[in-house]
């Protein structure tokens, strides 16, 4: 009996020490990431908390919304500066992502994220922007056009998440946690050490068939994924999409703005045919461009084609300016 008690005590002690070590490793990795990649923009308050953004250039306004698990450096990597010669370009960390304030489940819903972004651009004096959304940012962009139809000039969607997918891509399965408590526990213990170990394989899937750029960790903001806030936000976003997207899809026929979609022909994260056809069934006149040989990370890997697509949609959004 005494041996059994000692065994149980040592087992509990071992688990406690392991959890302490994981929490410490998580904090250390997060501190290192933040030291190497501090905030590079400004902050603005919204109903979903403080948002981090970069604002460059002058001209017709572009609002850029990144995807699941991303942050605004997916746009500043290559496209914001190229577009800033002719546009006012505002790239925003979505609520909970990047250096924007952490959020709870309620503020992760598409409608709440859209409201926060709308409040941000209103406070910045922006009127009727062309909204550029990449991946999950495309779903948020569509929500903006549905909820604020008179406040959006058009949509330029890059490899957008348009409809609910039946299977979570392998690179994102670690994020698929429905329980809010379990998500928080994972974020503070196992998730970040696991992300560090598996990031090379996961990023290879996200960028496929193209190679991950050598400077993605820094210039592309990849290191910021090694923060518990980043994991928690991405996991929460994924859980809320399961609720929100099926309700949003039937509303696409009501979209009344110029709408364009660009996909990489070999996207391994989202099926181009599924998401293009979901929109075309209700908006058959949308502009579609499929980039040969490209994958999912269009703003980083195909900046010239991406900026050309955005310029084309800008001409449709503001025809009198072109």
If you average pLDDT over residues 123-134, what whole number do you get?
98
The residues near 154 (Cβ < 8 Å, ≥ 6 apart) are 130, 131, 257, 258, 259, 260, 313, 314, 316, 317
Of 312, 299, 303, the C-alpha closest to 67 is 299
User: How confident is the model at residue 67, as a pLDDT?
Assistant: 97
Predicted confidence (pLDDT) per residue in 254-281, tens digit: 999 999 999 999 999 999 999 999 999 9
| Strand arrangement, sheet containing 42-46 | 42-46, 49-56, 88-92, 61-65, 130-134, 154-158, 259-264, 287-291
User: How confident is the model at residue 259, as a pLDDT?
Assistant: 98
Q: Does residue 19 have a pLDDT over 70?
A: no
The residues near 77 (Cβ < 8 Å, ≥ 6 apart) are 216, 219, 220, 221, 299, 300, 303
Of 15 and 310, the structure prediction assigns the larger pLDDT to 310
Return the residue matching tokens 């903006």.
144
User: How confident is the model at residue 86, as a pLDDT?
Assistant: 96
Predicted confidence (pLDDT) per residue in 20-65, tens digit: 555 666 676 678 878 898 999 999 999 999 999 999 999 999 999 9
Mean pLDDT of the chain: 90
The residues near 253 (Cβ < 8 Å, ≥ 6 apart) are 282, 283
Q: Does residue 13 have a pLDDT over 90?
A: no
Q: Does residue 153 have a pLDDT over 50?
A: yes
The residues near 80 (Cβ < 8 Å, ≥ 6 apart) are 54, 56, 57, 64, 89, 91
CB neighbourhood size of 267 (10 A)? 23
User: How confident is the model at residue 177, as a pLDDT?
Assistant: 85
pTM of the model: 0.92
DSSP-derived 3-state class of residue 262: strand
Predicted confidence (pLDDT) per residue in 245-256, tens digit: 999 999 999 999
The residues near 70 (Cβ < 8 Å, ≥ 6 apart) are 97, 98, 134, 135, 137, 221
Of 3 and 187, the structure prediction assigns the larger pLDDT to 187
Length of the chain: 322
d(CA 239, CA 65): 19
Predicted confidence (pLDDT) per residue in 77-113, tens digit: 999 999 999 999 999 999 999 999 988 788 899 999 9
Of 170 and 301, the structure prediction assigns the larger pLDDT to 301
Please tell me the class of the 33-321 domain. Answer: alpha beta
DSSP-derived 3-state class of residue 14: helix
């Amino acid at each position: 009996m005494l041996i059994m008690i000692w065994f149980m005590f040592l087992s509990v002690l071992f688990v406690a020490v392991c959890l302490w070590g994981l929490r410490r490793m998580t904090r250390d990795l997060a501190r290192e990431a933040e030291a190497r990649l501090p905030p590079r923009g400004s902050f603005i308050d919204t109903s979903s908390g403080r948002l981090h953004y970069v604002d460059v250039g002058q001209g017709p306004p572009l609002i850029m919304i990144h995807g699941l698990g991303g942050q605004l450096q997916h746009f500043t990597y290559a496209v914001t500066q190229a577009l800033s010669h002719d546009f006012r370009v505002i790239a925003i960390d979505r609520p909970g992502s990047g250096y924007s304030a952490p959020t709870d489940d309620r503020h992760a819903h598409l409608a709440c994220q859209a409201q926060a972004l709308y409040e941000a651009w209103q406070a910045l004096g922006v009127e009727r922007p062309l909204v550029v959304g990449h991946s999950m940012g495309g779903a948020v962009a569509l929500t903006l056009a549905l909820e604020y139809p008179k406040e959006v000039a058009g949509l330029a969607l890059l490899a957008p998440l348009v409809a609910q997918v039946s299977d979570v891509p392998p690179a994102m399965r670690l994020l698929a946690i429905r329980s809010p408590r379990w998500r928080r526990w994972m974020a503070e213990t196992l998730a970040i050490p696991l992300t560090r170990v598996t990031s090379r394989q996961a990023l290879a899937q996200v960028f496929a068939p193209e190679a991950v750029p050598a400077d993605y960790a820094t210039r592309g903001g990849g290191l910021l994924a090694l923060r518990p806030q980043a994991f928690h936000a991405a996991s929460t976003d994924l859980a809320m999409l399961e609720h929100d997207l099926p309700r949003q899809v039937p509303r696409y026929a009501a979209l009344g703005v110029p709408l364009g979609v660009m996909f990489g022909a070999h996207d391994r994260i989202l099926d181009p045919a599924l998401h293009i056809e979901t929109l075309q069934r209700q908006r058959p006149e949308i502009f579609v461009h499929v980039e040969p040989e490209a994958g999912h990370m269009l703003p980083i890997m195909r900046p010239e084609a991406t900026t050309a697509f955005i310029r084309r949609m800008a001409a449709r959004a503001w025809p009198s300016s072109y």
